[in-house]
Every structure is written in structure tokens, then in C-alpha cells.
Amino acid sequence: MISRDIILKLPIRIREDNTIDYTDSAFLCGILSLFGSEMDRDKLYNYIHSSNALVRHPLGDANDQTSTHPQDTSRDALVAWSSTKTDNPSVNAARLSYARKWFINKDILLPHVRVYLYKQAQAKVDWYNLWMYPLAYIIVPLDILYTAAIARTQTVKAQHELNQSLCLANSYGKFFLKMLLKLHPTPDENMKDYFCSWRNQSEIYEMYLAWKAKV
């Protein structure tokens, strides 16, 4: 069963010492949405703070205040949170706002990530950013090839987790998603290690397998 906070029922992580980790909540809500959770897709708007800014969790507690501040949000959280399209205007406005920027705090937003955000916001790329569109379709397959090549030289535990790659590839089309899953040597093992070993959230891994079976 996915752990959730008691107020908004947003996904959270329970640490090994049984304390609550709020900081990955936006990431988890997005990943659960990608893998088919309509409940989480409908909760994405909860992570919008103000001025279209994304937070890791809207509440947190006295021991975990960093989750409530937009300046502590990362690119990884943004990409995962944006994985599923929705008709919610607040969600789409926030995604579009980031699509028009080069950074989310200290993390750079490369052209293929920015075009991804335009796509997920269901908005046309602004005329002054149209140059990014063809470039994005060059970067995406190159990024997949690089990720797969590096993975072949590493153990599963040493590999970078695949969540953001799955989100991006899925948005750009099934061709790229199938390319990622086919060329990567151990996608299932990678996701299992991430969610079952490190995150202790095996339910999400099971959801991933069911989602992947439909690709």
C-alpha cells in the first residue's frame, strides 16, 4: 500500500527509522500518475505554491520544512510531476511557466526538457523557442543511446535511475519509449533496485511492470 500523508493523502516515503520523508512527494505523485493512478493525477494541482511555482510537498512538518519551499524543488521532481497530461488549468500553467525558463533553481532545463514541458502543458511552443523543437528530437534519442551505453558498463546499483528517462521518452512517443526499453540492458532490474531496495516502495515497481506490459 502506498504511504500517504493523513491530511491531503499525497504520496510520501516512510524512512527506515519510521519518520516521514515529504521531499519526494511531487516526484512520487507524478510517477504514480504515469503508471496509471488516476487518484494521483487528480492531486497534481496540490503541489503548486504561488506564481506557478512547484513545491515538493505543500505541507511538510516542523522537521521537514524544505519540502514546502519552491526554491528547493529540483528538475527531477518537475519532470516526474509533469509526466501525465491533465486538463487542470493550474497544473498546465505551472508547466508552461517552467517551459519558458532555462532553470528550475540550480538545475538547468535543456531544450528537450523544455519542449517536454510544453508538450505536457498541452501548449504550442512559443515562436521565440521554436528553434528548440527540432533540437529536442535530436537530443532525446542521443540521450537514450548514451543512457543505454553507460548502463552496459555498470552494475544495476551503480546505474542512474530511469524514472525521468521514462517520463521524457513516453511524452515524445512510443517509438522513443520502446527504444529506451529495448536498448537499456536492465530496465526492470534498474526500477526494481530503485523502488524495492532503496525506496522500499515495491508497489510502485509492480505498477511499473503492469504499465510497461502495455507499451
Q: Which tens digit of pLDDT belongs to each residue from 197-210?
A: 878 899 999 999 99
In a domain? residue 2: no
CB atoms within 10 A of CB 17: 5
CB under 8 Å to 9, separation ≥6 — which residues? 43
Instruction: Report how far Cα 8 is from the mean position of its chain's Cα atoms.
Output: 20
In the numeric block, the cell 503541489 is attached to 47
In a domain? residue 3: no
Cell numbers that stand for 169 in this block: 521518452
Contact 139, 110 (CB under 8 A): yes
- pLDDT for res 60: 84
- pLDDT for res 86: 97
- pLDDT for res 64: 77
Residue 142 confidence class, pLDDT cut points 50, 70, 90: very high
In a domain? residue 150: yes
Q: CA-CA distance, 163 to 34, in Å (whole number)?
A: 10
In 3D space, the residue among 73, 38, 41 whose CA is nearest the CA of residue 57 turns out to be 73
Q: CA-CA distance, 75 to 72, in Å (whole number)?
A: 10
DSSP 85-96: ----HHHHHHHH
Residue 88 confidence class, pLDDT cut points 50, 70, 90: very high
- pLDDT for res 200: 83
Q: CA-CA distance, 35 to 195, in Å (whole number)?
A: 13
Q: CA-CA distance, 26 to 56, in Å (whole number)?
A: 5
- pLDDT for res 125: 97
Average pLDDT score over the chain: 95
In a domain? residue 213: no
Q: Specify the higher pLDDT residue, 10 or 20.
A: 10
Contact 212, 10 (CB under 8 A): no
- pLDDT for res 17: 84
Number of domains making up the chain: 1
In a domain? residue 90: yes
Q: What is the pTM of this model?
A: 0.95
In a domain? residue 62: yes
pLDDT tens profile 96-138:
999 999 999 999 999 999 999 999 999 999 999 999 999 999 9
Domain that holds residue 35: 13-202
